[in-house]
Amino acid sequence: MILRKSILRHIKEKKFQYFGVIVLLLISIMLFVSMSMAISTLDTRNQQFKESYHQEDFHFIVSESIHQDQLSTWEQNFEIDLEKRSYTDVDYKSEDTTLRVFSLTEDINKPYISEGDLPNKQGEIAVSPPFAKAHDISVGDTVEVNNQNLRVTGFMYLPDYIYILERVSDLVNDPKSFGLAITGEDTLTNLSSRSVSQVIGQGNSEEEVASFKDHVVDNYSLLRWMNADENPRIEFVESEIESSEAVITTLPLFILVLSVMMVLMILKRQLEMQRKEIGTLMALGYRKKELMRHYLSHAGVIGIIGSILGLLAGAGLSIPITNLYSEYYNLPSISYFDWDMMVLVIGFIVPNVVLLIMTYFVIRKPLKQSPLDLLSPKDVSKGKKSMLERLPFFKKGSFISRFRLRLLVRKKTRAVYIFIGVMFSTILLIFGFVTYNSMDDIVETTYKKIFTYDYGVYYNKLQQGDLEEGASPFTNAEIQVQQLNDKEDISIDQKVSIYGFEPGTDQIQLLNDEEHLLNDKAESGFVVSQPLASVLGLELGDELTIGNAYNDKTITKEVKGVANVYIGFSVYFQLNEVNSFLGYPEGVYTAKWTNVEPTESEQILYVENKKDAIENFESTSQLTRYSVMGIAGFAFLIGVIVLTLITNLIVEENSPSISLLKVMGYKDNEISKMVLNVFTPIVLFSYVVSVPIAYYSIDGMMTSLVEQTGFSLPVNLSWFMIVLGFVIIMVTYFVSLWISKRKLKNVSLQEALKKQQD
Amino acid sequence: MSIVLSNVNKIYQSGEVNVHALKEASIEIPNKKIVAILGPSGSGKSTLLNVIGGIDRHDSGSVQVDDHQLDKMKDKDLTEYRRHSLGFIFQQYNLIPTLTVEENVEVGRQLSQNPLDMKEILEKVGMWDKKDKFPHQLSGGEQQRVAIARALIKNPRVLLCDEPTGALDEETGKNILKLLQFVNETYGTTVCIITHNNGIGEMAHKVIRMKSGEITEHFYNEAPVDPEKVNWV
């Protein structure tokens, strides 16, 4: 159809408007496709790594040493595969940097070599790529580990350390201070006498594994048992893949809705402007469906250009995102790029179908009119006042303010769009600020105010006796939440721990929201961490029943407090009762909090260095800062596009009045104030309303993510953030006004005259 | 193509007032002739043209076009009637601003099962040289020529012209009238012109005069004059 030619020319004529909506659509599809493809590739890499390199199903550590013969017997009796592996934590160059060196395994948790070779001679090691990158290590280099020189034969990935964490309680890792390595058994023995021996295993069914675990619990002193689905080093990437679906779809969906709204607004305006053209075509004999097709093509062109560019940009962007994720999770690049057809199809079809359906309803309205109605000029507004205009303050004020108020009241739809645009940008901004701030809050509250110790020392055997001055003993064990008040059916995907401690200690200060010390409350009841309270919906006074993970003992206590410990699902209770609950003798402990760096080498399972944990957090806050800047940038861009599109349309719609005002002698600035600045109260109102909405929705979102992530981010909004957000939103608004002012300046003086002639 | 109107009435509701746009209008539009419908503003001549053109419906009476009665036709059938039998020319030309001269004419050509040749038509209306220009690059007279070419290329049996010279000066207006006469003589197209310019009646084969919705007079012009000699009012 020849009319098709007019589409591209029309788009060229209104290039800013069409460009704006195409960019919005592009951003929406690009975000969806890049995130979906990155996650899909990540999933493939994870699955392939897991299967091909035989990721463990569980591992455990017992006090006793286990011989190879014992393993073979167990393998036969329980139909499981077992392998022994040793590891030791050693200093790399300085005391601040730890390298966890594992012995090589043959069947389970097989290392993937990404560069170089496996170490097969004494004095050789292979290291994890993030550690190598952080310390500028190349294959073939000789490195000093624990005062010994070792040759680096290659870079390797371990299937049970996909998300590298020094301790399972950590959230993030700084490769500068912690890394992994593998080496032969002999080299490992030479490196340190403090190695820990663990058994790693794979089972065919959960039942077999469970019955094997029962056997171990009954016959050995089990220090740690961890199934793969409780292991954050394995689970983090899986829960990230699962939880990312909400992020992948929510944000792009919002932007899609915004862009569809903008397209509809522009097309509606276009149809109004082209009433006569439609009437002429109808009078000439064009059928309604031909005209419907023609006008749908406008939306179609926007949709196709936006979605194709979005798909290409998204596919391109997915590669660095995948690499970033893979680096973050330490996944080898087994597959590079997954062409997930479903993502491409959804990314293309959904936006186009939504756009076309919505546009259909907008076009249907004028096409329902007769050609005669369309050929006649649109009824001049009858000048009827709206309800709002009857309010007393309308009659007061200068002519300019009354003119502005009237325009505002009569352009309600535009006002609603501006309201939604500002709200969207505000929510994005506040989200960025809160996330940024909450990382600092975790460090400040959990690590500085509550955990006052410097080191958490975990032993591989039960300890007894006095500790050095200032040190405080505690017993730590895995538990199961069995009952809350009368509710028995409780399941938490994450591992729940109990800390039996001496409430009088200075090493841990359990503080609540009001900063009241809760240590004493742990004498007679449970004090729980924020994530556990959040997942279970715990309130003070609730009766909580917990079970021992290794036997059938249970204990029921009242919840006496919720401490601002934001990491981990933890229950704090007094030491003696915890020992009795776990079946340990009185006066023993499995760990200690201390301010003195542990020097003893025997019997230590691992040392939790708080300084490292804080450093890890602080190093990741840099990444968060970039994310916040990215989110703020997006919020700014989307805000500018939406607000400029609307103010541009307002100039276009009011061009006869603008021209007339110019003829009468009004200056551009005065006209701009009368026509453009009318929406300033809407922008302010939207911001004021959006801040609490953003706050509560982020709070809700954080709570819903607690179970997957194992930590709750404190959602605190400071006045500084509110003011900064306001400044950004106002800058966005004034940038869009500035762009539209240029259009206003270009409205010619003849415009008024021309319209009169029409 | 014979068009016969019998006792056609059309009432518009304007607020609380009923406006009788057509009152018992009965008339025949002779085939292959030029018909001028004359009358002042508000006399009902545009309503008459719209009813004949199937873009407006009358309230009572009948409009017979060959074997079809327009008042019995559905909207879809009226579209087909306009598509295949009629050509419309408007006072404000109503060209599509984003299409060139040739493309605007193409808009009409695509509707026809038996269109005329593009070059021939554009040459006949004197716009072949300007076929690649856009409407805003043309004068009013040139734009009206394009509108005529757009209506004509469909090879319609009836050309309905609503004040085709209303926005033009005398010289340009007469050139347009010459063109319409040429179309009538060359292609045998019935040309129906509504105008408030009484002088145009001198070139028509049949003149219909209207006032306040009624046909006050209609007669055949025995000696139509050349448009050049029309007394321009």
Inside any domain, residue A11: yes
Which segments in chain B show pLDDT lower than 50?
Answer: none
Chain B residues whose beta carbon lies within 8 Å of the beta carbon of residue A18: none
pLDDT tens for each residue of A518-532:
999 999 899 999 888
Inter-chain CB proximity B99 and A372 less than 8 Å: no
What pLDDT score was predicted for residue A583? Answer: 85
What pLDDT score was predicted for residue A190? Answer: 87
Let me know: does A123 contact A149? Beta carbons within 8 Å: yes
Residue A751: C-alpha distances to residues A274, A658, A755, A756, B141 (Å): 17, 9, 6, 9, 22
- For testing the chain A interface, which of B99, B107, B148 should be mutated: the one with the most A CBs within 10 Å? B107
The DSSP secondary-structure symbol of A605 reads: E
Inside any domain, residue A32: yes
B50 and chain A: CB distance < 8 Å anywhere?
yes
Which segments in chain A show pLDDT lower than 70?
Answer: 171, 245-247, 335-338, 378-397, 493-494, 549-550, 600-602, 617, 619-625, 627-628, 707-711, 750-758
B79 and chain A: CB distance < 8 Å anywhere?
yes
Q: Are residues A465 and A432 in the same domain?
A: no
Nearest CA in chain A to B54: A283
Inside any domain, residue A601: no
Q: Are residues A295 and A210 in the same domain?
A: no
End of a domain among A172, A193, A218? A218
What pLDDT score was predicted for residue A389? Answer: 64
Inside any domain, residue A758: yes
Give the DSSP H/E element, type plus range, for residue B147: helix B140-152
Domains identified in chain A, total number? 4
**Domains of chain B and CATH, by start:** 3-229 (3.40.50.300)
Chain A residues whose beta carbon lies within 8 Å of the beta carbon of residue B73: none
Distance between CA atoms of residues B128 and A520, nearest Å = 99
Residue A429's closest CA among A162, A26, A736, A727? A727
Inside any domain, residue A602: no
Chain A residues whose beta carbon lies within 8 Å of the beta carbon of residue B106: 2
Q: Are residues A358 and A240 in the same domain?
A: yes
Inside any domain, residue A386: no
- For testing the chain A interface, which of B48, B58, B98 should be mutated: the one with the most A CBs within 10 Å? B98
Residue in A1, A5, A370 closest to B55 by CB: A370
| A370/chain B closest Cα distance in angstroms | 7
What pLDDT score was predicted for residue A756? Answer: 46
Inside any domain, residue A604: no
Q: Are residues A242 and A211 in the same domain?
A: no
**In chain A, which residues touch B (CB < 8 A)?**
1-3, 5-6, 9-10, 13, 276-277, 279-288, 370-372, 375, 758
| B146/chain A closest Cα distance in angstroms | 14
Inter-chain CB proximity B111 and A758 less than 8 Å: no
Chain B residues whose beta carbon lies within 8 Å of the beta carbon of residue A5: 98-99, 103
Inside any domain, residue A334: yes
Q: Are residues A242 and A269 in the same domain?
A: yes
The SS3 of residue A570 is strand
End of a domain among A170, A186, A218? A218
Let me know: does A109 contact A160? Beta carbons within 8 Å: yes
Chain B residues whose beta carbon lies within 8 Å of the beta carbon of residue A277: 94, 96
Q: In which domain, by residue range, is A582 found?
A: 455-596
pLDDT tens for each residue of A714-747:
788 889 989 999 999 999 899 999 989 988 888 8
What pLDDT score was predicted for residue A757? Answer: 43
Residue in A2, A13, A370 closest to B106 by CB: A2
What pLDDT score was predicted for residue A707? Answer: 67
Inter-chain CB proximity B79 and A282 less than 8 Å: yes
Neighbours of A331 (CB within 10 A): 25
Chain B residues whose beta carbon lies within 8 Å of the beta carbon of residue A280: 88, 90, 94, 96
Q: Are residues A38 and A77 in the same domain?
A: no
What pLDDT score was predicted for residue A337? Answer: 65
Q: Are residues A158 and A72 in the same domain?
A: yes
- For testing the chain A interface, which of B50, B96, B103, B152 should be mutated: the one with the most A CBs within 10 Å? B96
Nearest CA in chain A to B95: A277
Give the DSSP H/E element, type plus range, for residue A594: strand A589-594
B151 and chain A: CB distance < 8 Å anywhere?
yes
What pLDDT score was predicted for residue A112? Answer: 94
Residue A519's closest CA among A470, A596, A451? A451
What pLDDT score was predicted for residue A117? Answer: 93
Q: Are residues A179 and A285 in the same domain?
A: no
Inter-chain CB proximity B92 and A758 less than 8 Å: yes
Residue in B87, B94, B103 closest to A2 by CB: B103
pLDDT tens for each residue of B160-212:
999 888 878 888 889 889 989 998 998 899 999 999 899 999 999 999 999 99
Q: Are residues A460 and A554 in the same domain?
A: yes
Size of the A and B interface in Cβ pairs below 8 Å:
72
Inter-chain CB proximity A372 and B50 less than 8 Å: yes
Residue A738: C-alpha distances to residues A12, A652, A687 (Å): 22, 15, 20
Inter-chain CB proximity A1 and B111 less than 8 Å: no
Task: Name residues whose C-beta falls within 8 Å of residue A325's C-beta, 6 or more positions apart in sequence.
Answer: A38, A39, A42, A240, A331
Q: Are residues A214 and A226 in the same domain?
A: no
Q: Are residues A620 and A710 in the same domain?
A: yes
End of a domain among A324, A346, A378? A378
Q: Are residues A129 and A199 in the same domain?
A: yes
B93 and chain A: CB distance < 8 Å anywhere?
no
Q: Where are the alpha helices (DSSP H) in A476-590?
A: 530-536, 575-582
B92 and chain A: CB distance < 8 Å anywhere?
yes
